[in-house]
Amino acid sequence: MIPSSRTYRPAFLFLTTTVLTLGQSLNPSMPSKEYIRLNGQIIAIENAPPSGPNGQLSPTTLTFASQNVGSSSAGQPVTLTNSGNAALPITSITISGANASEFSSTNNCGTNLAAAGSCTVTVTFTPAATGTRTATLAIAGVAQMVSLSGTGANTAPIVSLSAASLAFGSQAPGTPSFSQNLTLTNTGRWIWYSAAFLRWVGQTLATST
C-alpha cells in the first residue's frame, strides 16, 4: 500500500503512474480491481477476462487399472471447459505417444465449444501387451494435455489353436487316416478347460475328409 502521507515528485516532466496489483489494493472491499494513481488521483480498473477462447482440461491425468490384454476397459471422462469469451474451434483430438494405439477416445464436443461451455472426451484403454502402457491426449488450441497410463495383464485364459483347419484328403470308408496334430495353447495365467470345446474339436476332426 502506498502511504497517503508521502508525495511523489518526479525528477523529469513526463506522465507517471503507479500500479497497485491485487493484494496492494487501496480499497479492500474491491479486491478484484487494480488501481492506478495518476497525477494524484486514484483510478480503479476492472480486471478484464482473457480475450478469445480459453480451453481447460480436467483432469490432466488418467490412470487405468490392470486390464487383460486384448480386452477394453470402461471409459474414463475428461472435461473440456471454455472459460474464454469466444467459441473454441475443435479441429482435432489426438492421442500420441509410445502406446497411442492402445488408447481410444470419443467425444460430444462438436466442431466448436461456445464460451462458458463444456464437453466430455471419453478415453478407453485396450492393452496389446503386458506391462505399463502410456500415451498423451491433446486437443488442438488447448495448452493443457492429458497423460494416459494403464497396465496390460494376462490374468485370464488366452487360448489359441495351432491351425485353423486340417486337411486329410480322400480316405476309403472304414479305414483310418494318418494322424495330424492340433495344438491348443493357453498364453494366459489361468487354467482354461471346456469339455464342450474338446468334444467339438473331436467331432470336427472325426467328420473331416
User: What's the confidence (pLDDT) of residue 169?
Assistant: 79
Burial profile 140-149: b = 16 or more Cβ within 10 angstroms, e = fewer: eebeeebebb
**Does residue 64 share a domain with residue 40?**
no
**Does residue 120 share a domain with residue 59?**
yes
**Does residue 124 share a domain with residue 60?**
yes
**What is the tally of structural domains in the chain?**
3
What is the end-to-end Cα distance of the chain in Å, rounded?
98
**Does residue 149 share a domain with residue 59?**
yes
- Give this prediction's pTM: 0.57
**Does residue 148 share a domain with residue 78?**
yes
**Does residue 137 share a domain with residue 79?**
yes
Q: What residues of the chain score a pLDDT lower than 70?
A: 1-50, 155-158, 186-209
Nearest-CA neighbor of 81 among 22, 142, 140?
A: 142
**Does residue 183 share a domain with residue 139?**
no
User: What's the confidence (pLDDT) of residue 197?
Assistant: 56
CATH code at 85?
2.60.40.10
User: What's the confidence (pLDDT) of residue 25?
Assistant: 45
User: What's the confidence (pLDDT) of residue 172?
Assistant: 82
Segment (H or E) for 37:
strand 33-38
DSSP 48: P
**Does residue 118 share a domain with residue 71?**
yes
- What is the domain extent for residue 200? 159-207
